[in-house]
Amino acid sequence: MYSRDSWGGPLEINATDSATEDERSRNLQDVDRAALSRPLDETQQSWLLGPGEQKKKKYVDLGCIIVSRKIFKWTLGTILFAAFLAGLIALIVNTVPRHRHKHPPPDNYTLALHKALMFFNAQRSGKLPKHNNVSWRGNSGMQDGKSSDHSAAIKDLVGGYYDAGDAIKFNFPASFSITMLSWSVIEYSAKYEAAGELEHVKEIIKWGTDYFLKSFNSTADTITTLAAQVGLGDTSGGDSPNDHYCWMRPEDMDYDRPVTECHSCSDLAAEMAAALASASIVFKDNKAYSKKLVHGATTLFKFSREQRGRYSAGSSEASIFYNSTSYWDEYVWGGAWMYFATGNSSYLKLATAPGLAKHAGAFWGGPDYGVLSWDNKLAGAQVLLSRLRLFLSPGYPYEEILRTFHNQTSIIMCSYLPVFTSFNRTKGNSSYFKPFRQTSEFMTFQFLF
């Protein structure tokens, strides 16, 4: 009987085999050598020889990809080396002393801008913000407008700006200053931002417009009364305490400060409308506040058209310090700003009316022709409307007067050049204007632009 081993030859020898013992022995040796001369498969090796040394796999399974073990090692080594090298470079950069270059000092115009804006901070009336950068100023004029000597529609006149070294608050020159500030921000907001003053100047403008909104019933569509001034400066009537009789710190005022109202003040109302309208463009990102300013400007301009008259005609105070010569230039100026703020063509139609331009002095000379000031806004209105023609070109029926304004503006600008003798000049070759009119420190700012 035979029983064959699957891993070799038969285990038993046929008993009928006649070979001798030595032959069988030789035959067995031959069989063993023959069996061992074949290569053993893996199972035979493990069974006969025991656990052996396994071959290393040539590939690495990363789950989503299979890569060569050699490439994997090189890649991993490269990453580790790069990380080490980056860390070493960062350590060297952070530990080695570096030469820091100082920022160049600000130019003269930037310094002048800082000083001009600081002036407005120093002139603030009312409850000052904590970040006001004039340390020697404090709250003042906290009772302004709270007495009963004026219209019930005006209940609170705390805030605003003092005019000069005194503590009077004149709305006419102040509103002109706010209009000029707003115009400068509209045109040069990037310059303000580069100087780090954009938010500051916008805060200055808002301080003024917030006060103007208190000067009349800004929630109404129609008004009959407007506050023009707080405080007195006329000392001809005796030694009663007022803002000129005894100059002092506003924080120490302990006398009554009456409110001057007007009921027929086209120049003042139109200028205040220009201030609110131009500021509404500055604050266009604050839709609620911008809308509030536009509504107030609309109310004021309507009042200026319905109640004709100069604000200083019936006020001895205003006629002494800021006498207005006419209101026609304010109509052109205010109408132009109202158009820019609202897009309502009726305002542009008014601002470009030939009759209005004639009354404003657009077609005749004079000592103030071409001079922009708190009293004469014609030159500024002409520049503003020339800008409208250049950038928007509204065409008929506005083109004729816009072209006229554009030509007049070109002539005025040329007259500022040294080769012309239209204006007097200083030794430093700067223009100055005669006759020199009563002005406010508010005027200093406009010449920066």
Which tokens hold the place of 22? 């030595």
30-39, 158-167, 358-367: which has the minimum mean pLDDT? 30-39
- Same domain for 295 and 402, yes or no, is no
17-26, 64-73, 253-262: which has the minimum mean pLDDT? 17-26
Query: In the structure, what pLDDT confidence band is assigned to residue 21 with cuts at 50, 70 and 90?
Result: low
Where b means 16+ CB within 10 Å and e means fewer, 61-87 reads: eeeeeeeeeeeeeeeeeeeeeeeeeee
Please give the residue that has the higher pLDDT: either 81 or 338. 338
Instruction: Determine the average pLDDT of the residues in 115-119.
Output: 93
- Same domain for 281 and 400, yes or no, is no
Helix or strand or coil: residue 252?
helix
pLDDT at residue 50, as a whole number: 46
Q: What is the mean pLDDT of the chain?
A: 82
Q: Of 291, 324, 357, which one is at a domain's C-terminal end?
A: 324
40-54, 224-238, 382-396, 426-440: which has the minimum mean pLDDT? 40-54
- Same domain for 182 and 303, yes or no, is yes
Which tokens hold the place of 260? 């001057």
Query: Is 272 exposed, middle or buried, given 0-12, 13-18 or 19+ CB atoms closer than 10 A?
Result: buried
pLDDT at residue 60, as a whole number: 61
Pick the closest to residue 223 from 159, 312, 151, 291 (CA basis): 151
Please give the residue that has the higher pLDDT: either 356 or 314. 356
Share of the chain above pLDDT 70, in %: 77
pLDDT tens readout for residues 293-352: 999 999 999 999 998 999 998 777 888 899 999 999 999 999 999 999 999 999 999 999
* Cα(318)–Cα(311) distance, integer angstroms: 8
Q: Measure the N-to-C terminal CA separation of the chain; round to a whole number of Å.
A: 124
Query: CA 229 → CA 240, 257, 307, distances in Å?
Result: 18, 10, 18
> CB neighbours (10 Å) of residue 96?
7
Residue 169 pairs with which residues in a beta bridge? Answer: 230
pTM of the model: 0.73
Q: Is residue 47 part of a domain?
A: no
N residues, the chain: 449
Instruction: Determine the average pLDDT of the residues in 260-287.
Output: 96
Q: Is residue 60 part of a domain?
A: no
- Same domain for 317 and 355, yes or no, is no
- Same domain for 166 and 303, yes or no, is yes
Q: Which domain holds residue 196?
A: 109-324
- Phi, psi angle pair for 88, to nearest 5°: -65, -40
Q: Is residue 380 part of a domain?
A: yes
- Same domain for 303 and 376, yes or no, is no
Q: Of 292, 324, 356, which one is at a domain's C-terminal end?
A: 324
8-22, 170-184, 203-217, 359-373: which has the minimum mean pLDDT? 8-22
Indicate the helix (H) or strand (E) that contains 60: strand 59-61
CA 318 to chain centre: 36
Residue 425 pairs with which residues in a beta bridge? Answer: 431
Helix or strand or coil: residue 211?
helix
CATH of the domain at 229: 1.50.10.10
State how many domains the chain has: 2
pLDDT tens readout for residues 93-112: 777 776 666 767 778 889 99
Instruction: Determine the average pLDDT of the residues in 358-370.
Output: 81
155-164, 382-391, 428-437: which has the minimum mean pLDDT? 428-437
Helix or strand or coil: residue 66?
strand
